[in-house]
Each structure stands twice: as C-alpha cells, then as structure tokens.
Amino acid sequence: MRSQNLRESESLIRIRWIALVKEIQRTLIQSDVDVKLVFDLSKRIKDEALDEKIPKGLTRREHIINIVHSELTRFWAKKRRK
C-alpha cells in the first residue's frame, strides 16, 4: 500500500511539474520568445528538476522555484548578450 501511495504521489508531482513547464512555455511564446529557445529552456528546467535530489533544508516547492529562477536568469542573461 505504501509503495502504491508513493507511486501515486510521484505521478502527481510529475503531472504538476509538466503543467508548470507548459505554463512557462505558453507565457514565453506569447511574449514572442523564439520557440526553439523556449523548448531548450523547458528541457533544462525539466531535466534538472526531475534528476536532482532536493537539497536538505528546502521543500520540493522551494527547490523547483530555485531551478526555474536560475534557468530563467541564465536564459535572459544569454538573450540579452545577443
């Protein structure tokens, strides 16, 4: 039973994560950001969030916020240099 609850919990986390990434994609594309850049950014965020362990002292939510913030900062800094 515990194993099934854990799997259900993990799949809910994935569903929420996918919804968040899609919302970021929608917002950036509506803001006329190049689609290729948006998908590259999305992939980096998704890979980092799903592969990394949550650091001690952070909640899953804080960890995701940190990932999104750092990737968006890197994205805008790179775009600004061009």
Pairwise CA distance, residues 35 & 41, whole Å: 10
Cβ burial 16-42 (10 Å sphere, 16+ → b, else e): ebeebbeebbeebeeeebeeeebeebb
φ and ψ at 32, to 5 degrees?
A: 65, 30
**Model confidence at 81: pLDDT above 90:** no
Q: Where are the domains of the chain?
A: 2-81
CA-CA distance, 22 to 16, in Å (whole number)?
A: 10
* pTM given for the model: 0.70
The tens digit of pLDDT for each residue in 15-71 reads 888 888 899 999 999 999 889 989 998 888 888 887 788 889 988 888 888 998 998
Q: Which CATH architecture has domain 2-81?
A: Up-down Bundle (1.20)
